[in-house]
Amino acid sequence: MGIGLLLSSGIGDTIRVSLTGDPVEEVRVGYEILKSLNLRERGPTIISCPTCGRCEIDIISMTKKVERKTKNIPAPIKIAVMGCVVNGPGEARDADAGIAGGKGYGLLFCKGKIIGKVKERDLVDALLEAVHDLSPQSNL
C-alpha cells in the first residue's frame, strides 16, 4: 500500500518489494502493484469472485489452477473465474476469456461472447484452451 501511494502520487520510478518467501514472488507482487496502478501491463489479470451462497462450483481450486497455469504468460490478458450465472456473466463477458459456473455446468466466454456450455469438470481446461488461443505463446 505504501509503494502504491507513492507511485500514484508520481513519486519514484524504481520499486523493491520485500517479502518473507521466495524472491520470485517479490517480482510478481511488484508487477501486480504496477498493473493495479495502470503503470505497466504485463501478464494475466485474474478477476475471481469472492464466493457467496450462490456459488455452485469449486471456485477456489479452479482459480488457483488458472493462476498457476497462466502465471508465466507475458502478454497482458484479462481472465475471469466466476462462481455463478447471476453475477458471473457480466465479469466473464468483460474479460478476454472467462467462465461463469452453474450447477454441474458453466458458461465459457471469449471476447464478450458465450462460446460454450461446458461440464464443470472440463471448465478450467476449456478456459485455459481459450486463453491459449488468445496468447499462443503461452505454452499452458
The residue ranges that bind ligand SF4 (CB under 6 A) are: 49-52, 54-55, 82-84, 86-88
Q: Which is nearer to ligand SF4, 82 or 123 (CB)?
A: 82
Query: Residue 91 and residue 33: Cα distance in Å, rounded?
Result: 21
Q: Which is nearer to ligand SF4, 19 or 60 (CB)?
A: 60
To the nearest whole angstrom, how small is the minimum distance from the Cβ of residue 53 to ligand SF4? 7
Q: Which is nearer to ligand SF4, 44 or 88 (CB)?
A: 88
Q: Which is nearer to ligand SF4, 49 or 73 (CB)?
A: 49
At residue 131, what are phi and psi to the nearest 5 degrees? -65, -45
Classify burial at 40, counting beta carbons within 10 Å of its beta carbon; exposed 0-12, middle 13-18, buried 19 or more.
Answer: middle
To the nearest whole angstrom, how small is the minimum distance from the Cβ of residue 86 to ligand SF4? 5
Q: What is the DSSP letter of 27?
A: H
Query: Residue 37 and residue 42: Cα distance in Å, rounded?
Result: 12
Q: Which residue is nearest to ligand SF4 (CB)?
A: 49
